[in-house]
Amino acid sequence: MHLRLSSILLGLAACGAAVPAPRAALPLDGNSFVVIDARVFDGERAIEHANVVVRDGRIASVDTHAPPRDLPVVDGAGRTLLPGLIDAHTHVRTETMLRDALRFGVTTQLDMFTEVPFMQAHRAQRDSLARTDLSDMFSAGAPVTSAGGMGTQFGIPFPTIAGPEEAPAFVRDRLAEGSAFLKILFEPDAEIVSTISQETLAAVVAAAHTQGAITAVHITSQAGARGVVAAGADGLAHLFGDQPIDDVLIHAIVAHEMFVIATLTAHAHLTGKGISPSLAADPRIAPFLTAGQREDLAVTAPTPDDPMGPYLVRFNLAQASDNARRLRAAGVPILAGDDASNFGAYGAGLHGELELLVRAGLTPAEALTAATLAPARAFELADRGRIAPGARADLVLVDGDPLVDITATRAIVQIFKNGYPIDRAPR
């Protein structure tokens, strides 16, 4: 048997049928190429020793067949190919913030409110396959909040909503401005900020659904989350840490098929256990940070005498982490979002959020899904968050295996946006 196999192998080698001749090194400067022999995480699970063919900025095939010979080759051996990462909770106000994210493999950001003109100026990019050095953005635009409510403290002039009767027109105005989804701020038991009422929340959610829009709701307490579930919204923009989540609420979130954006980065920062210092010190991250990103990572936690103190005490990393673990165990889609730049730095921060999700008890695969397929499904992003034929070639190639060590997402070999390689030099 051994002899026979050897002679077959020798025979094949002699005739050259199965052993490819060395390839001419085609330059990797367009948006067509093939990644060879990589571990491919498709958004949900890994395929070992796979070849991924990209043509004209889209994935053409993912399989273990012999790769085509007309394309530049990217060596995937010992490496893992990930879908471009999706940060499901950021606030983007400048092109620099889009560029900073992309340099860390975040190819899409879900902006949880920003200035409307900025959103409008960057809305078309996400439909394009052109070469770019900016991540794509799906933005809520102006949020839904009350006069003086959460979100208004940032000094951005937003319209506010006074009652449920205004909901249909308010939602229509946001969608007419170009909002990709509705971001609603709801704080029913935080005495230091005003909030929309439960009735207004329910009316806005109903109007959004009538008008075909997804709703993500900011809460910071279990009481707030109960109101969001009662209103029928699609998901939570934060996970709360003020109380252990109760089984009744978990079951309701499952029954309503809601998503939860964990933002454990915020809980870590506000409870003095921020992950930013370790990101800034990581040799896989530090060389790619701009001075601005280093500044964002150096922001320290609020002191006990902070005027927001009575509000901030409800953030709790251990409790929020345990709530995330229990929700995930019940089958709830957990989405990775770091709330940059309130906490952390664009792009780099998402790698910290992934580590926090694994520390919370998610498997590395579940954490990777939280930054790829889960947000793509929750926000109906058809051609993102997965490595599959037809998806846009937003890809991150890393050394090692993030399915074993989640921090391997930081060991980036090459980022592709719309199939084009990205220059990672900070600028």
CB nearer to Zn ion: pick between 112 and 396: 112
> With contact defined as beta carbons under 8 Å apart, do 378 and 357 qualify?
no
Strand, coil or helix: 214: coil
Footprint of Zn ion (CB under 5 A): 112, 339
Strand, coil or helix: 74: strand
Q: DSSP H helical segments within 65-129, as ranges?
A: 95-102, 116-121
Least distance to Zn ion from the beta carbon of 90, Å? 8
Least distance to Zn ion from the beta carbon of 171, Å? 20
CB nearer to Zn ion: pick between 74 and 216: 216
Q: How far apart are CA 116 and CA 119, in angstroms?
A: 5
Least distance to Zn ion from the beta carbon of 85, Å? 18
CB nearer to Zn ion: pick between 228 and 393: 228
What is the residue type of 5?
L
CB nearer to Zn ion: pick between 145 and 200: 145
CB nearer to Zn ion: pick between 102 and 112: 112
Least distance to Zn ion from the beta carbon of 183, Å? 8
Q: How far apart are CA 420 and CA 30, in angstroms?
A: 6
Least distance to Zn ion from the beta carbon of 40, Å? 32
Nearby residues of 356 by Cβ (< 8 Å), 6 or more positions away: 262, 264, 265, 268, 275, 317, 321
Least distance to Zn ion from the beta carbon of 115, Å? 14
CB nearer to Zn ion: pick between 185 and 398: 185
Q: How far apart are CA 268 and CA 84, in angstroms?
A: 25
CB nearer to Zn ion: pick between 200 and 265: 265
Q: How far apart are CA 237 and CA 113, in angstroms?
A: 11
Identify the CA nearest to 185 among candidates 213, 209, 161, 157.
161
Identify the CA nearest to 50 among candidates 69, 67, 27, 25.
67
In angstroms, what CA-CA distances link 420 with 33, 125, 188, 414? 9, 15, 46, 10
CB nearer to Zn ion: pick between 54 and 374: 374
> With contact defined as beta carbons under 8 Å apart, do 131 and 420 qualify?
yes
What is the residue type of 325?
R
Least distance to Zn ion from the beta carbon of 89, Å? 6
Least distance to Zn ion from the beta carbon of 91, Å? 6
